[in-house]
Homo-oligomer: A and B are copies of this chain.
């Protein structure tokens, strides 16, 4: 149950319409909590029904017509409560690792091209994060908010770094294994 809180966070940073939120979920917030526009609209409806957000008064609501939302005090309170509440980390769930484990049983045929593709994707993502870091977090800016956001970005950078290194290592192992077979 995190999507509503992701939306509340995004709306507190800046009141937005569904489409604007969707765009922002494709960049910043979506880097660690992705959501489709369908999810977002559905959730906006629920949040409004629950009295946590409201449409900005300026516009009349109609289908196909831009409608912006802002967070109500109850929404901010709920987000603060959720943020502070203890939550267990979710166990890792990764298809690629599963495929490797399966490959130990049924063979590695055809796997390494996809490994290479993943390596490429992770390298791109890493480059994107690093560009954001250079752009948004120059050494001088360090308000508390900036430091927290930088910390989150840092996690993204380190995770992508891990994947690129691990995939590089995996590909090397693959090369050695197939060389050994002949």
Contacts and interface: CB of A to CB of B under 8 A. Distances in A.
Copy tally for this chain in the complex stands at: 2
Contact of A80 (B98, B106, B147): B106
A55 interface: no
Interface in A92-123: 92-111, 113-114, 117-118, 121-122
A109 B169 CA distance: 41
Interface stretch (A15-23, A29-37, A46-54, A61-69): A29-37
Interface residues of A, number: 73
Q: Which of A34, A114, A121, A154 has the most CB of B within 10 A?
A: A114
Contacts of A154: 166, 169
| Main SS at interface, chain A | helix
A29 B91 contact: no
A87 interface: yes
Given A101-B152, A151-B170, 15 more contacts: A29-B98, A32-B98, A79-B106, A83-B99, A83-B102, A83-B110, A84-B111, A89-B118, A89-B121, A92-B156, A92-B159, A151-B169, A151-B173, A155-B166, A158-B165
